[in-house]
Each structure stands twice: as C-alpha cells, then as structure tokens.
A = this chain, B = another copy of it.
Amino acid sequence: MAETATPRPKTPKRLTRKEKQAETRQRLLNAAERVFLRRGLQGSSVEEIAAEAGFTRGAFYSNFKSKDELFVELLQDRVYRQYAEMAEQAQEQPGTPRDRLRWGAERLRDVQKREEGSWLFRLWLECLTQAARDEEFRELAASFWSGNRTLVAGQVKATFKEVGRKPPLPPDQIATAMIALDVGLAVQHLVDPEEVPLGAYVPLFDLLFGSLVDTEEP
C-alpha cells in the first residue's frame, strides 16, 4: 500500500537489495555476540558464528574481512551506544553535585545489573585480554577509555567550579579513579556476586568521592 502512494518514481524500493544485506550483517553481529560470550574471542570460530545466524561461512566472508574486524565493529557499536546515552542524560541531572554523583553511581550499577550491560562488560573483558597482547586492540581500548576519561574529567572540573573549590588533584586523575572504581567493582562482582553485590556501588562512590564535592566542609 505504501508503494503506490510514493510519489517518487525513481526510488520506490531500490534499497531492498542493500537492506537485505544489511539485515544479514546485523544477524551476523547479533549471533557473534552470543557466540563470543560463550566461547570467547579466540574460542569462537567463523563457522559457529555464521551457523548461529543461520548462514554458512560464505555469508560471513562476503560481509566481513575477519573475525577480529567483526569483533571491533560489534564492540564499538554496542559500547558507544550505551555510553553516549548515559553521558547525554548526565548533563541534565538536577540536584546538588553529590546528588548527581549518586545518580551516576546508580547508573553504573544498573548497567551491570541489566543483563545486556553485563554482556557488554564481558565483551570488554575479552577485548582487554586481547589488548594485553595485541597493539590494535590496545589502541581500540585506549581510545575508548580516553574519550570516557575526558568526558568524566570535564564533569569533575565543572563541578569543582560550581562549588567554588579547587580540585585536590587534576580532574583527569580523579576521573581515572572513578573509572577504576567502576571497573574494579564490576570485575569483582562478576567473579563473586555474593561477596561483592551491586549494592556496594552507591555507598562507595558516595563515601570516596562525595566529600570532594560537598559545598560544606564538615
């Protein structure tokens, strides 16, 4: 019904071919995520990924150059989407600096709580391990965290300005510490969810960073 209503005679459905391929690509990416999670990056075979998506290797190789390439694309897609979203919302949070800090901690906690976020974290771990040996992956990880750090550092700086205090350390070092706490808690929670519950996120962020941004000195 939509076709006849289209006024343009030139491109009624011209994308069908491309669209179909794009869908294949997406199915491969989704399948790859599942396979990577259960086999690891090195442990996954192109064959299994293709099969999981309902294709053969032929489809894979006509869409991607290699397994690594697919992995990088997958990770960038997923991670940037999630973080961009969070960064956006952070800007417009109301309340005192400390409130905003707690809000941020809650969000980081929720990311781990949601299955989707936990998957993502595991993929990151995969990337990290590869990064320990492989320059290309190291740069990927570095550029991602560098961007993140800059972002957080910006917020830290702005916050100190807002409360009219001088940061006790360079903002990017404080940002590094916040990221470190996030990563470190996530790692420990992954390994031992009982002993390191996600509930630890908020009180710890509040305890360690809260006093830095309080308007009042105790």
Q: Identify the A interface with B (CB < 8 A).
A: 37-40, 42-43, 122, 125-126, 128-133, 138, 141-142, 145-146, 149, 168-169, 172-174, 176-177, 179-185, 187-188, 190-192, 195-196, 200, 203-204, 207-209, 211, 217-218
Q: Would you call B43 and A192 a contact (CB within 8 A)?
A: no
Q: How far is the CA of A217 from the CA of B217 in the complex (A)?
A: 11
Given A180-B183, A200-B176, A188 and B131 touching (CB < 8 A)?
no
Please measure, in the bound complex, the distance between the C-alpha atom of A180 and the C-alpha atom of B162, giving whole angstroms: 29
Given contacts A42-B42, A133-B37, A207-B168, contact A185 B180 (CB under 8 A): yes
18 inter-chain pairs at a CB distance below 8 angstroms, sorted by A residue, are A37-B133, A40-B130, A40-B133, A42-B42, A42-B43, A122-B132, A122-B133, A125-B129, A128-B190, A138-B191, A146-B192, A172-B195, A176-B188, A180-B183, A180-B184, A180-B188, A181-B184, A208-B208
| Contact between chains at A131 and B204 (CB < 8 Å) | no
Chain A binding site: helix, strand, loop or mixed by DSSP? helix
Q: Which residues of B contact A146 (CB under 8 A)?
A: 192, 195
CA distance A142 to B184 in the complex (A): 14
B142 touches A207 (CB 8 A): no
Q: How far is the CB of A130 from chain B (nearest CB, A)?
A: 7
- Flag if B125 contacts A128 (CB, 8 Å): yes
- Beyond A40-B42, A180-B188, 4 additional contacts (C-beta under 8 Å) are A126-B129, A131-B191, A176-B185, A180-B185
